[in-house]
Amino acid sequence: MTETRIAPNLPQWMKDHVDRYLGSGGTDGHMYKITLPNMPELTVPSLLLTTTGRKSGQKYLFPLFYGRAGESYFVIASKGGAPEHPGWYANLLANPDVEIQVGTEKKRARARTATGEERARLWDLGVGFWPPYTDYQKKSGARQIPVVVLDPVA
């Protein structure tokens, strides 16, 4: 079995977040507190997403803010508004079978990109818990930032 690694090239604050999340078994780190310039402190739910590298076959772990959609979860592939999609998104397009940890719960899930009305609805919910997504979309140019639904599987 391939060992899961923290994704390469993550900023230090994200690595520290993953360490807290994993070190506590999910009791610390699930609700992430952050203060941004000109905004009140935000508390944002976060999960750990494990994808399989499309080139390496290596399992990589990413901390992401999330929302709920019925029994499913959703994440936003923003990459801070970069002109290209994040690597984890390319990984799940190649292999949509992922693992997630939400707090202390670990689950297998299948990822899919939301479209149409579902995407619009989930995007609005995402902006509700992380307002910077609006600025990220403006920064990203012509790229429409994907909204990814993570449907739990048995």
Compute the distance between CA of residue 91 and CA of residue 51 in angstroms, rounded to an integer.
6
Pairing of strands 4-6, 59-65: parallel
Range in 32-41, 57-66, 97-106 the model is least confident about: 32-41
Q: Give the C-alpha separation, 143 to 47, whole Å.
A: 24
In the predicted structure, residue 117 carries a pLDDT above the cut 80 = yes
Has residue 75 got a pLDDT over 60? yes
**Residue 6 pLDDT > 80:** yes
Full-prediction pTM beyond 0.85? yes
CATH among 2.30.110.10, 3.40.50.970, 3.40.50.2000, 2.40.50.140 for 4-153: 2.30.110.10
Q: What CA–CA distance (Å, rounded) separates 95 from 56?
A: 12
CB atoms within 10 A of CB 117: 8
Tokens, residue 69: 């959609």
Q: What separation, in Å, do the N-terminal and C-terminal C-alpha atoms of the chain show?
A: 20
Structural domain boundaries in the chain:
4-153
